[in-house]
A = this chain, B = another copy of it.
Amino acid sequence: MDNKQFVKEVADIEKDFPQWYTDVIMKTELVDYGPVKGTMVIRPYGYAIWENIQRELDKRFKATGVKNAYFPMFIPKSFLEKEKEHVEGFAPEVAVVTHAGGKDLDEPLIVRPTSETIICHMYSKWLKSYRDLPILINQWANVVRWEKATRPFLRTSEFLWQEGHTVHATEQEALDETILMLNVYKEFAENVLAIPVITGQKTEKEKFAGAVATFGMEAMMLDGKSLQAGTSHYLGQNFAKASNMKFLDKDGVLKYGYSSSWGVSTRLIGALIMAHGDQRGLVLPPLVAPTQVIVIPIAAHKGGVNEKVQEVTSLLVGADIRAEADYRDMSPGWKFNEWEMKGVPLRIEMGPRDIESNQCMLFRRDTLEKKAVSLDNIQEVIANELKDIQKNMLDKSRKMRDSRIVTATNMDGILQGVENKCFVKADWCGCRECEDKIKEVAQATSRVIADGEPITGKCAVCGKEAKHTVYFARAY
């Protein structure tokens, strides 16, 4: 398939962004629909992105002292019911095992939608003394939330994620951990995914069911909508009390622990696509691209071309660059288009004349620029170019995002802002009614509470005294 054909086969990114998204994820073989409604198959190209995300996040978690573990997927129904808000939030979307090993079960089992209840239950068995604290554990796992409207990566019945669950002796330590992990996510989103994010506390309406406070990071997609890319919850003693998770403190008193939980999921792959893509397809940041450099022989039938292509590819691989040569029996143009569609950051083209001149042509997916570069020190040249792409993609995203944050002082302004594909900063009195009204009129939700003083001091909806400035946006 050549690029023209691909461009024809995918919807116009400006005119029909949702269809463009679907076309691109299917044609680049990132994902496919599973046989059960709402499920997805993450195909090798999509899963390789997830592996890169996992590796980058995992080392950041471990650097803060977190260790991985694995807890059972099946949660007794009674566990979910221990925390009142939690069960109200999750009960409508759980999948239930009622039958196993040829028998009806005495107690139905919930397939985990998240694991606070079962993990706190285990912690309550392990935790004895303040010496056992903090407990800092993460798990990489699948979770199930039965959603009505699903879209691959963004919202599916089953998805992959990581969930960190920590316990601390004091409120302050648990809050510090909550914010620490939020900042780990933010640094990761910006430096690895090249996606600038806005972080802050969620409103009561938008917080995690069972949390005292939820902090989120929000990323602007190309259509101006927001995607909640990660959350970190301060759980106070809510789950500790529900599962009787106590420890003997230094002062000899038995106390409930304070806990946090935090997670990101395969949603991040959706964020990558919708933050960086263009009409040609994906544009992947080098740090998560499964293939960072594709090397394509030109006039491969000529003597010495494939040999030189292999030599250069091996040099790059030896320098820990994810490089690959494409020797398939297709035209170079066909290959160019396919790898552009797949979002590979750099393309090297090498033909007989390039080789004679000890050079190659270098194409950058992010800027669409092509230039000749010498083969001397090619590893260094490519490594630097990849770094520059990574930085340029973040800069570009940040510029786009910053140019699309507007301020509104009334409902008209909010509506106009989101219609113009912007995030809208507006003051808010703190009441649920005004939040619901914005949702009704502008189909926008509060994303996070902005730090600092209110802009006008008056709620953009009811005009009463404002408590917070909030980012409102339409959201995925």
Contacts and interface: CB of A to CB of B under 8 A. Distances in A.
5 contacts: A36-B72, A36-B75, A72-B158, A73-B158, A101-B147
A43 B69 contact: yes
A94 interface: yes
A41 interface: yes
B100 A41 contact: no
Interface in A357-380: none
Contact of A48 (B67, B71, B125, B158): B67
A67 B44 contact: yes
Contacts of A94: 100-101
A239 interface: no
A70 B95 contact: no
A126 B41 CA distance: 12
A142 B69 CA distance: 13
Q: Assembly of this chain: how many copies? A: 2
Given A51-B68, A72-B36, A122-B41, A96 B99 contact: yes
A79 B34 CA distance: 12
A294 interface: no
Contact of A69 (B41, B101, B157): B41
A425 B125 CA distance: 46
A461 interface: no
Interface in A56-97: 67-76, 79, 91-97
Given A35-B76, A68-B48, A98 B99 contact: yes
Contacts of A141: 142
B44 A69 contact: yes
B100 A96 contact: yes
A162 interface: no
A101 B43 CA distance: 26
A238 to B, nearest CB: 19
A70 B160 contact: yes
Interface string A133-159: 000010001101011100000000110
Nearest to A125: B32
Nearest to A117: B35
A449 B100 CA distance: 34
A79 B99 CA distance: 18
Contacts of A79: 35
A36, A67, A79, A144 pick with most chain B CB within 10 angstroms: A36
Given A34-B71, A36-B74, A39-B72, 12 more contacts: A32-B122, A36-B75, A41-B71, A41-B72, A42-B69, A51-B68, A74-B144, A93-B102, A96-B97, A98-B99, A101-B148, A142-B142
